[in-house]
Amino acid sequence: MKAIQPAQLDAWLEQAASETPAGSLPVVLDVREPWELQTASVKADGFELRHIPMRSVPERLSELDRDQPIACLCHHGMRSAQVANFLMNQGFTQIVNIHGGIHAWSQERDPGVPVY
């Protein structure tokens, strides 16, 4: 599984968008709990933002396209790494983990995102 830093997301999105069917955007899959989203969240810009808590991913797998580029996000990158590995084992082909999670996102991409 490939991991990228939040600062590398734009380059990954650009590459992923070139490999995505017209009218479709890469996905940032936020696997944090609902209370965490209320504490800190990102704005979709150049990607589709989806929220499926980690524990719900197996039962909601049909909501995701196996061929769509997906970058997994959580608080520090551990849960999202587990989800990324799970998705790859389920046949998803374009998966990355956002290393450092939303905490690193706040430090590297958007200081307006609260750190918790």
Q: Which pLDDT score, from 0 to 100, does residue 53 have?
A: 99
The 10s digit of each residue's pLDDT in 4-38 is 999 999 999 999 988 877 778 999 999 999 999 99
* Catalytic option among 74, 95, 98, 104: 74
Q: Report yes or no on whether pTM surpasses 0.75.
A: yes
Say whether 72 is catalytic: no
Are the C-beta atoms of residues 1 and 84 closer than 8 Å to each other? yes
- Domain encompassing residue 90: 2-108
Beta bridge partners of 28: 49, 71
Give a yes or no: residue 116 inside a domain: no
Give a yes or no: residue 72 inside a domain: yes
CATH of the domain at 55: 3.40.250.10
When divided into structural domains, the chain yields a total of 1
Give a yes or no: residue 44 inside a domain: yes
The residues, any chain, with a CB within 8 Å of residue 115's CB and separated by 6 or more, are 40, 103, 106, 107
Give a yes or no: residue 113 inside a domain: no
